[in-house]
Structure 1
Amino acid sequence: MNRMTYEIDRRCVDKLHMDLHTFSKLCSMLRATGRLHDTRNVSVDEMVAVFLNVLAHHKKNRVIQNDFYRSGETISRYFNAVLGAVLCLQNELLKTPEPVHENSTDERWKWFKNCLGALDVTYIRLHMPEADKPMYRTRKNEIATNVLGVCSQDMQFIYVLLGWEGSAADSRILRDAISRRHELRVSRENYYLVDAGYPNGEGFLAPYRGQQYHLNDWRDGYQPTTPKEFLT
């Protein structure tokens, strides 16, 4: 535990996916929530290290037991305790996206007053049992999960939805995101930019159908020739 979180920065990054300074700061923030306290046998730092080990490496409980010399019940209890404390930090850690202002000078965004950012899906390849592969097979014949990512104007992730099959349509995943319990919220006066795989609707602005909008289409100095191309 000491070698992982107090002595060697590289080891801390390897094990917890953050450096020593960041780990120390996170532990301090979690203590400040009042939900985590050192016990006679387990420090807050160790609780957080257990939590991060599971997230960083997707380790099973029995593997963490061997790494930290703790019982399975202890590992499970403190993982859930840290998870609860992390959720208490959501207002501090999660940044609310700022809409594009009317006087914006950013050439990329000034055309989209009140826009919050953009969203799209991406494929992440998976290894899974043969029986489950058909659902996760993409149009390119890869086995993958379809992940929805929502970014602010400065390309910071503000919402991510995991778990959909690679065969799922983009619009279906977006419907799930806005209708589930912890949904993607878009206020009535704001919207996100989406590509042609999504329909236009309240909160989401798609390009004109049949227009060129991918970056590859605009190489070699190609310029818009119609109003629709300009706005796309």
Structure 2
Amino acid sequence: MEKWDNLCGTEGVYILAGWEGSSVDGRVLRDALSRRNGLPIKDGYYYLVDAGYTNGKGFLAPFRDQRYHLSEWRNGRQSTTPEEFFNMKHTSARNVIERCFGMLKMRWGIIRNSNIYPIKQQGRIIMPCFLLQSHIREHMHVDPIENVYGDDSQNEEEDSGLDGEPVTYVEPTQEWTNWRYNFANQIFNDWMQNRHVA
């Protein structure tokens, strides 16, 4: 759980296509969670979400009112609080997700300019592109597209089984808020300790 996993791998792929890009993220998430075979959340794991989502069980959002974007740590700027350090790690991990979408668009030209098709048809196009991408990642030892973006696959997990009760809605809880705060403190303290040792 305390690992910033590479989400480009084949494990845990979930696709919900068909929503318009202008739809509110929270509404799309509610739809994904309410479906019969909806978005699975393995017990003890979480999805990284941006500040537009609720920080609730299974969904880890950044701290608000803290530096967040990678550009804010350029030129040797260091994190000074656990919340800032957490946000830096969070945005780095989310950057990997953005790279995954970049790889998809590089490989499948049809999704670069799919707006010429009706929404329903776009969903039918996107689904096989994602599934083929997962198949390629699973069966190719070297994917030439990754050379453009780099390969972070060494962090992939093998276990894809789901444990526990499914999450069917997201609401903030003090327990989850405390967990995020404690996690931020733990990784910040580890980083500070390693800096002083080196």
User: Does TM-score exceed 0.5, indicating one fold?
Assistant: no
- Higher percent of residues as strand: 1
**TM-score under structure 2 length normalisation:** 0.38
**TM-score under structure 1 length normalisation:** 0.33
Larger Rg: 1
